[in-house]
Amino acid sequence: MKNGLYISESNRPSKKWYCNGKYHRLNGPAIVFSDTGYSGWYKNGKQHRLDGPAREWKNSFVEWWYEDQIIYCSNKQEFERLIKLRVFLDK
């Protein structure tokens, strides 16, 4: 079972962080592909980030994710508003 940082220098150079075999990192992206500039934030194998987009590419394209669910929005304020609304509706 993978734990910690794994670096690949293959045809697609990457850095990937694991915890118990799942992508996981709390203080930064759990996946980084240097060729595309892609960074992906994961928590316990689920795409997730609260302080910014969970997927980022070097061309400035971003995607916002919350507990492995994409949240369609255009900025952080809208994301936070939608998350609060979702939490309210789930209770």
pLDDT band at 88 (very low <50, low <70, confident <90, very high): very low
Q: Where are the beta strands (DSSP E) in the chain?
A: 4-8, 14-19, 22-23, 31-33, 38-40, 42-43, 46-47, 55-56, 62-66, 69-71
Alpha helices (H) in the chain, listed in sequence order: 76-90
Residue 87 confidence (pLDDT): 59
pTM: 0.88
Q: Is the pLDDT of residue 90 over 80?
A: no
Do 56 and 62 form a contact (C-beta atoms < 8 A)?
yes
Tell me the C-alpha distance between 46 and 59, whole Å: 23
What is the tens place of the pLDDT at every residue in 41-51?
A: 999 999 999 99
What is the tens place of the pLDDT at every residue in 29-75?
A: 999 999 889 999 999 999 999 999 999 999 999 999 999 999 999 99
